[in-house]
Structure 1
Amino acid sequence: MFSQLLIVCSLGFIAAAVDAIAGGGGLISLPALLLIGIPPHLALGTNKFAATLGALNSSLTFARSGKVYIPLVKWQIIFTFLGASLGVISVLHITSDFLNKVVPVLILFVGLYTLFHKDLGIHSEFKGLTPKSLILGFLFALALGFYDGFFGPGTGSFLIFLFITLFGFDFITSSANAKVLNFVSNFVSLILFAWNGKILYTYGIPMAIFMLIGSWVGTKLVLKKGARLVKPIFITISLAVAAKLIYQSF
């Protein structure tokens, strides 16, 4: 058991650091749990449990730094909460075969689009909220809340990409906003997975501690290094998530 704990804790640390910077940490942490033989539904629940503490730490650190755009995010939290609730309820009853095929293509598009748009997210182009942008913000919060509860991989990448392309935020603000919404969907998912007995606490608790430390390291790097650190990691993680999911699908 010690060797298994070593695997999930070390990979959990790396996953949380990466997730705080550019999203996509689930690409590392969830496979770590599956690697040691934990069944999929238990792995999903245990991963949510471990990831929630790190996501909370990143959210609070970003919020204290003033990087979270509260006027928008405070409303998106409600829609994320609702979406994640519906997502977990759905995944406990049906399989995710359809998403296994569609999501890799979408994440690949996100990664390639960002790669070939050299200035995307480097500087803030945010010009304020409009009724149209608010509605779009509510809709993608609901949809990605559902997606995170139902399936998960790439949620952070999708959120960051949409905050940049729809609102014109830079990578730092987009990462901060995304982490708050990601925490909400993780927390809701955690409660529902726990209620249904889908968490292995013997692995989840030590993994959560290491993910907390990893999230602290990742968040500090974002705030110190800025968008020029986040963008290449974001592109790398997006393409890696897409490649992994495509490989699994075929």
Structure 2
Amino acid sequence: MEWIIISVASVLAGFVDAIVGGGGLILVPALFATFPTAPPATLLGTNKSGSVWGTAIATWQYSRKVQIRWSAMLPAAAAAVIGSFLGAWAVTLISGDFLRKLLPFVLICLLLYTLAKKDLGRHHLPLYDGNRETVIACAIGLTIGAYDGFFGPGTGSFFIFMFVRLLGYDFLNASASAKLMNLASNSSALVLFAMKGHIWWHYALVLAVCNVFGSVAGTHLALKHGAGFVRGIFILVVSALILKTGYDAFLR
């Protein structure tokens, strides 16, 4: 039965993650509910072992249809890896409890801003070019990458929002660029989990195949329906993140 539960969860996670991120909202709770006595690090590592392949396929699919600004995004992806490492190192020194309680309010502000700005992210009008765009993209990669390593929930949504708000991308192009950031950050985390022996490899292949299947379907819908569709899913995922992080911070 556990094979069926986690396989379905992985398909759904890949589908949502390919559009706006947030697949961890589905697969991680499913793993924890299915294997309640397993070490958390092993479940998180097993999640990464499946989701990283869906993210890789989504990145490739988007790159064929969307003009990713590689000159800015590749350095930003490298910055995200550095930020993720620094964030993971920081969490060994200080508690993340303050961020756990702050996060729901940050997400509420992000949601309200998106709802108030009706045209936000509907049109792809990059604000910068050349070195200035690269510097801003790297700053986003480093900052959100550090958050991902330190805490994590909503990383994909934060990347998308920052690319829309600070660089002038539409939601479709921002989602495509966010996939590259997530791929870089998740690959770094996967290597660490593998080195520490925190991956159940007998589940990894099944999760990967299912996640890729969901990712292909999600990317297809995003490319077919465009920025408006991605914006709608973004609002739904951020709303779910508010409920999840609020519950974790104040009710659990």
TM-score, normalised with respect to structure 1: 0.92
Q: Residue 161 of structure 1 aligns to which amino acid in structure 2? A: F
Give yes or no for contact 2:59–2:180 (8 Å, CA) kept in 1. Answer: yes
1:130 deviates by 6.2
Identity %: 39
* AA matched with 2:3: L
Residue in 2 aligned with 1:64?
64
Aligned residue in 2 for 1:139: 139
5 Å matches for 1:39-78?
39-78=39-78
Deviates more, 1:133-142 or 1:8-17: 133-142
Give the whole-Å Cα distance in 2 for the aligned partners of 1:86 and 1:194.
Answer: 19
C-alpha distance in 2, partners of 1:43/1:106?
Answer: 27
Q: Is the 8 A contact 1:62 1:176 kept in 2?
A: yes
CA contact (8 A) 2:72 2:133 kept: no
| Per-residue deviation, 1:132 | 5.0
- 1:11 corresponds in structure 2 to 9
| 2:125 paired residue number | 125
Aligned to 2:24: 26
Tell me what 2:228 maps to: 228
Deviation at 1:41, TM superposition (A): 1.7
C-alpha deviation, 1:143, in angstroms: 1.8
Quote the offset at 1:247 in angstroms.
Answer: 0.7
Does the 8 Å contact 1:126/1:167 carry over to 2? yes
Is residue 180 of structure 1 aligned with residue 180 of structure 2? yes
How many residue pairs match? The answer is 248
- Equivalences for 1:100-111 in 2 at 5 Å? 100-111=100-111
Instruction: Tell me how far apart the structure 2 counterparts of residues 199 and 163 of structure 1 sit (CA, whole Å).
Output: 32
Which amino acid in 1 is paired with 2:196? N
Pair 202,73 (structure 1): closer, same or farther in 2 beyond 3 Å: same
In structure 2, how many angstroms separate the alpha carbons of the residues matched to 1:151 and 1:213?
A: 27
Q: Is the 8 A contact 1:85 1:192 kept in 2?
A: no
**2:243 corresponds to:** 243
**Cα separation, 2, equivalents of 1:149 and 1:156:** 13
Tell me if structure 2 keeps the 8 A contact 1:33–1:43: yes
Offset of 1:92 from its aligned partner? 6.3
Q: 1:99 to 1:6 in 2, by over 3 A?
A: farther
**TM-score under structure 2 normalisation?**
0.92
AA paired with 2:203?
A: Y
Please list the CA deviations of residues 22-76 of structure 1 after superposition, one character each: whole Å capped at 9, or x if unmatched: 1111111111111111332222211111110000000111112233221210110
Per-residue CA distance 1:89-142 (angstroms, 9 max, x = gap)? 455676542332222222222222112211110111213326555433212201
Verify the 8 A CA contact 1:88 1:192 in the aligned structure 2: no
Task: Give the 3 Å change call, closer, same or farther, for CA 45–93 of structure 1 in structure 2.
Answer: farther
Q: Rate the CA distance shift 1:70–1:241 in 2: closer, same or farther, 3 A.
A: same
Whether contact under 8 Å (2:81, 2:184) holds in the other structure is yes
**How far apart, CA to CA, are the structure 1 residues paired with 2:31 and 2:150?**
18
Corresponding position of 1:211? 211
Change in CA separation of 1:66 and 1:229 when aligned onto 2, cut-off 3 Å: closer
In structure 2, relative to structure 1, the CA distance for the partners of 1:195 and 1:95 (3 Å cut) is: farther
Asked whether the 8 Å contact 1:79–1:138 carries over to 2, the reply is yes
**Aligned 8 A contact 2:15 2:215 in 1:** yes
Q: Distance in 2 between matches of 1:48 and 1:90?
A: 20
Q: Equivalent residue for 2:80?
A: 80
